[in-house]
Amino acid sequence: MGLFCANIILSKPVHEQALEHLREAGLKAFVAQDVAITVVAEQRIEEQDASWLYELTSELSRQCRCAALGAIIHDSDILMLALAENGLVIDSYNSCPGYFEEQATDADLLPAGGAPLALAEAFGAESNVTALAEILSTGAPGSADDNAYAFEDDRYVDLCEALGLPKWAAFFCYSAAERHEWPDGLDAGNVRAV
């Protein structure tokens, strides 16, 4: 069994605003802070609910007045992303849109969406646009791409690193936080529950 993980990375250290919004909305979540970012691991997106990922990513972007990158890793086989600014989803990405199709063609298994420049600008990583484009366009597990990622969690780590984000941001998720299991590099003292 692969990794099931989901979170939303906010482009600024806005943990208090995020906590307030989550509390007012009655949501269960863990919020991790860093000197430059905030990462939200919320219970419902952990259940692989993509429509809720889009909605909550948009809400947090609006409430916290910053860019937000929502991500779902499904069984290490699919990476779905939603990038929001000012409360609007401006880009979406699916590393393997044909994953659940019985009659999927090779083209259905290639990544769809993903705006490297928008991601780079949202997180101040403009010098890494080329690397981001390569990360987003590389095939998913099972695709005909000879350079395909074996696991989508590896793609998400590469994406986070290209955006200048700490590696732990890729692995901070609700189920692990609920068990008080923290990704390497994340100090448990920087995590708060709602």
Residues in the chain: 194
Identify the H or E element spanning 57: helix 50-64
> Residue 176's pLDDT band (boundaries 50, 70, 90)?
very high
Average pLDDT of the residues in 67-96:
96
Provide the whole-model pTM: 0.95
Taking the C-alpha atoms of residue 78 and residue 40, their distance in angstroms, rounded to an integer, is: 20
Domain count, the chain: 1
Q: For residue 121, give the H/E element and its range.
A: helix 116-122
Q: How far is CA 38 from the centre of its chain?
A: 12
Contacts of 32 (CB under 8 A, 6+ apart): 15, 38, 39, 41, 168, 169, 172, 186, 190, 191
What is the residue range of 123's domain?
5-193
**In 10 A of CB 92, how many CB atoms?**
19
Q: Are 155 and 78 in contact (CB under 8 A)?
A: no
What's the CA gap between 24 and 39, in Å, rounded? Answer: 18
- What tens digit of pLDDT does each residue of 104-146 get? 777 777 899 999 999 999 999 999 999 999 999 998 777 778 8
Question: Which tens digits make up the pLDDT trace of 136-162?
Answer: 999 877 777 888 899 999 999 999 999
